[in-house]
């Protein structure tokens, strides 16, 4: 069972590493990181660099494609070769998935047209330019296409995938093994609960 996660310059680290942590524990799963070119890929926060040995074009099929987001996802929208590869790989997958602004890449590839989908709340308008309808749900599934909201939502998506790729008992065991039992100290994790002041501060932080 091959799970492919493309990394690109300025990817959001938790988008990729969170799902990787869970999916790598699915029996029979083999997780492959791929990149535009073999070498060291730096995340958007700057401190984490991942050595990736495989160019994405070397992958002709996979069971699961998981596309992370980050500032680099927007840059990849202009990479016609990469977008064509995503579209082509989608034809071979059991599940094509995205985390955060990775949904914009699926949208650019034409995979979300006419569907409801989710992404980071700051990218909702961008998502709809690709013919999708944004929803604030944390994870959205349409047949084999799954999208998840910002950053940490990828862990929820991955846990659901664990069940789809194995069974619910295994998924629950992976949840326990990773001790995924979120109990955040604040209730500001979505636009529905965050105050206007928190939203404004989040926008300031995102702007750098």
From first CA to last CA, the distance across the chain in angstroms is: 39
DSSP 3-state of 91: coil
Query: In this structure, are strands 30-35 and 39-42 parallel, antiparallel, or unpaired?
Result: unpaired
What is d(CA 58, CA 144) in angstroms, rounded to the nearest whole number? 23
Q: What is the DSSP letter of 58?
A: G
What is d(CA 65, CA 206) in angstroms, rounded to the nearest whole number? 27
Q: Is 100 a catalytic residue?
A: yes
**Please, how many CA atoms are within 13 Å of residue 183, restricted to the half-sphere of its CB?**
2
**Among 16, 73, 100, 115, the one annotated catalytic:** 100
Query: In this structure, are strands 95-99 and 145-148 parallel, antiparallel, or unpaired?
Result: parallel
The tokens of 110 are what? 């034409």
The tokens of 105 are what? 């890449």
Active site positions, annotated: 100
């Amino acid at each position: 069972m091959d799970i492919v996660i493309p990394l690109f310059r300025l990817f959001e680290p938790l988008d990729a590493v969170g799902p990787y942590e869970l999916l790598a524990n699915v029996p029979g799963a083999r997780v492959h990181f791929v990149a535009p070119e073999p070498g060291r890929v730096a995340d958007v926060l700057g401190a984490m660099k991942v050595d990736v040995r495989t160019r994405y074009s070397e992958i002709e099929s996979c069971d699961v494609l998981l596309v992370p987001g980050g500032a680099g996802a927007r840059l990849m929208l202009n990479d016609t070769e990469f977008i064509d590869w995503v579209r082509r790989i989608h034809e071979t997958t059991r599940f094509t998935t995205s985390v955060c602004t990775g949904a914009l890449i699926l949208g650019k590839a034409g995979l979300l047209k006419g569907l409801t989908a989710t992404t980071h709340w700051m990218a909702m308008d961008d998502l709809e330019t690709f013919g999708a309808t944004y929803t604030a749900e944390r994870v959205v599934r349409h047949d084999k296409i799954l999208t998840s909201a910002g950053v940490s939502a990828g862990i929820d998506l991955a846990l659901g995938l664990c069940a789809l790729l194995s069974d619910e008992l295994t998924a629950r065991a992976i949840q326990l093994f990773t001790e995924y039992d979120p109990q955040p100290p604040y209730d500001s994790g979505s636009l529905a609960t965050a105050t206007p002041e928190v939203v404004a501060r989040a926008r300031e932080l995102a702007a750098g």
